[in-house]
Structures are given as C-alpha cells and as structure tokens.
C-alpha cells in the first residue's frame, strides 16, 4: 500500500476541505439545533461530484477510488457530520448497490441521476422488530403478473424524508429466512408510499431519519434488483462498503475534536499560563492524535483492499468499530478540555460528542462488527 496521496487525491482533499469550510461551517450549530436539513450543501456536493464518487463515468459518476471517497468523507464530516451521512448513504449504500447489482434499465433510469447528485437515495433495511437481526423482517411482497405489491414498515431510514428513491428489502418468500428476501427500488410519490415525521435524535440532527410506510404499493418488475431471494446477500455486500464510509465519518468527527482541543488549549489561560502547557492536557492531545492516525490507516487499508478486489469485509468492520470508538473518546476528551464551555451548545464541541455516538450504532453496531471480525479469524 502506497501511503502517499496521489495528485488527484490531494486535489479531492483540498476541494472537500474548502467546500466544507466555505459552505457547511456557517450555520452548522443552528442546523443541528433546529433539525434543518442541509439542502443547499447537499445540492452543491452533487455539483462537485461528491454524491457518486465511485460510480463509473458511464453512469454519470466520478470514477474515483474508495480511498478518494474516504478522504472526501473525512473532510465533510470534520465540519458537518449530518451532511456527511447524507453523502455516505448515497455513495456507499445506494449508488454502489445499483451499479453492482442493478440492471442496465435501473442504472440508466435511477443510477445516473443519483450519481450526478440530481436525485437523492435512501436505504431501508431495518424494521421496528429487526435491527441487528436484519433477516427478521416482516415487510411482505406479493408477486403479481407484471410486478409486486408491498406492505410493511421500515425504520431508521437516513434521508427517508428528503430522498427521491429508496432501496427496499422485503420478503418475497415467507418461511425460509434470509433466502426469501429480495431487493427493490421504489420511487417517492407512488400511491401508498409515505413517510413518518423525522425522528428527534441525539446527534446528526440535521440529517433526517424516519419511518417509511408501504400500503399496497405497486412495484414494477423492472424495479427488482437482482433475482428474487438475493436481497439479503445484496444488503450484506453493500454494508461492507458502507462501513468504510461511516468509519471515515467517525474519523472526521475525531479530527475535528482534536483540532478544536488544540486551538482551545492554546488560547485558554488558567493559573497564569495556557492550559496547553499542562502535561495532563498534553497527554490527552497525544492520545487523541495517536488513535486518529491509527484509525485513518485502518480506513485507508480497507479502502485499498476494496479498490484492489481483495476481500475486505472484516477490515471494514475493524475500521468502523475502531474509528467510531476513537470518535467517542476524542469528542468526550474535547468536551473535557473545554470544561464548562464545552458543555454549552454555542461552543460547537458538544455536538461532536453527540454526533460521534451514532457511528457506534448504525450500519452495524460495534458488537456486530466484533462478531464479523471474530468469524473471519475463526473460519
């Protein structure tokens, strides 16, 4: 693995950093407090090519590698983790899935506008009774002569309110477990398809999350993704790549925590000197920096393996579980270094701690990641 970024990767990093600081930093605290979806920011990410970075240019994507994607994700999350998760879902879960498993009809009609940023996608796997046990779903699809009818509820759907298209996993053959699950693409606006109100969340509050309801929704047969019964394998394969994106989001939160801690430690004077001169503070900063660098290397290693066609699921799990835990430790220490000022909303650093927590939960909890890692070790 070459640890030097290419000229293109450096340009992507610079572009993402400048965009985040110029377009996302302003108003980030207000968007978090009032749950304001970053519409203009998401639109501009699309214009910059950040919403379909790894998609083949044939389908209007950027044709970039996974390392470039993680670099951009880190820079966006460093400023606004809510905007970053919108970007992550569209890239890692929606565009990747459609390019890898979708028909040319689906790629032409749906992938192109998603990859170009013209449209936005969502990924609906979880249900009220099925989280980590994703195969325990009840959303049911019945075959008709020219398509399918779906009934059921999905929850924890990122971008569920603001998306145009939704990847849906549902049961086509009951009674045979995960082998009876299939995947579909559903358009917003179809009769019987509706969404619930956005959840009132601890963190990433500017990113909408909601339930989706399917009441006898008709899905054309052309909108099935892959063969019947392939849905669960499609979901698991897709989530491997998604975990790299969430790891990069966590890394951005951790780096922002370190950046804010260094700045404040140099400025805050107590007992006649900046607190940065206190060894207790220096050790906190050193630990944060070491863990962030280790997380970054794990993420780039997993992205490198993905780009190289090497089996990377276990490495993606390592990257996600470690980066998410680093994000929690770094953001908590950031609040501690800021003291009372870190506990109030105006400082902006308490948001980092709230945003970090979800990275240990969604797209596979830290506990599930450890199961994946252990199974790879013991196979």
Active site residues: 363
CA 10 to centroid of chain Cα atoms: 22
| CA dihedral sign of residues 253, 255, 257, 263 | negative
Is 87:114 a contact under the CB 8 Å cutoff? no
How far is 203 from 267, CA to CA, in rounded Å? 27
Angle, CA 208 vertex, CA 303 and CA 112 arms, to 5°: 55
Note every long-range contact of 372-376, with CB atoms under 8 Å and residues 24 or more positions apart, other chains counting: 372/313, 372/314, 372/317, 373/314, 373/317, 373/318, 373/321, 376/313, 376/314
How far is 213 from 98, CA to CA, in rounded Å? 22
The closest alpha carbon to 207, from 87, 83, 93, 90, belongs to 83
Is 250:73 a contact under the CB 8 Å cutoff? no
CB contact set of 293 (below 8 Å; sequence gap of 6+): none
Q: Which helix (H) or strand (E) holds 171?
A: strand 165-171
How far is 303 from 3, CA to CA, in rounded Å? 12
CB contact set of 353 (below 8 Å; sequence gap of 6+): 328, 331, 332, 334, 335
């Amino acid at each position: 693995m070459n640890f030097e970024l290419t000229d293109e990767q450096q340009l992507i990093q610079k572009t993402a950093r400048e965009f985040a600081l110029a377009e996302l930093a302003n108003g980030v605290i207000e968007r978090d407090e009032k749950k304001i979806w970053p519409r203009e920011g998401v639109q501009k990410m699309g214009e910059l090519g950040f919403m379909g970075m790894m998609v083949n240019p044939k389908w209007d994507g950027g044709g970039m590698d996974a390392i470039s994607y993680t670099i951009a994700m880190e820079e966006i999350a460093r400023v606004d983790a809510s905007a970053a998760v919108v970007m992550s879902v569209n890239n890692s879960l929606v565009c990747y899935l459609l390019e890898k498993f979708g028909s040319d009809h689906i790629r032409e009609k749906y992938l192109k506008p998603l990859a170009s940023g013209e449209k936005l996608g969502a990924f609906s796997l979880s249900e009220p009774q099925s989280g980590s046990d994703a195969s325990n779903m009840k959303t049911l699809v019945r075959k008709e002569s020219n398509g399918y009818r779906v009934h059921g509820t999905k929850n924890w759907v990122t971008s569920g309110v603001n998306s145009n298209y939704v990847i849906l996993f549902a049961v086509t053959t009951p009674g045979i477990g995960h082998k009876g699950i299939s995947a579909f693409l559903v358009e917003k606006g179809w009769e019987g398809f509706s969404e619930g109100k956005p959840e009132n969340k601890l963190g990433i509050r500017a990113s909408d999350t909601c339930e989706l309801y399917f009441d006898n929704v008709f899905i054309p047969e052309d909108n099935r993704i892959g063969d019947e019964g392939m849905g669960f394998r499609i979901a698991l394969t897709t989530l491997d790549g998604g975990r790299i994106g969430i790891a990069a989001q966590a890394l951005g939160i951790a780096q922002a925590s370190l950046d804010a801690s260094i700045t404040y430690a140099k400025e805050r004077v107590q007992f006649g000197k900046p607190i940065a001169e206190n060894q207790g503070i220096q050790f906190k900063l050193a630990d944060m920096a070491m863990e962030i660098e280790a997380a970054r290397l794990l993420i780039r290693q997993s992205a490198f393996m993905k780009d190289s066609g090497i089996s990377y699921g276990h490495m993606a799990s390592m990257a996600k579980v470690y980066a998410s835990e680093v994000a929690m430790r770094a953001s908590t220490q950031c609040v501690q270094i800021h003291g009372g000022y870190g506990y109030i909303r105006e400082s902006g650093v308490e948001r980092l701690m709230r945003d970090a927590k979800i990275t240990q939960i969604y797209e596979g909890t830290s506990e599930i990641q450890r199961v994946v890692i252990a199974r790879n070790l013991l196979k």
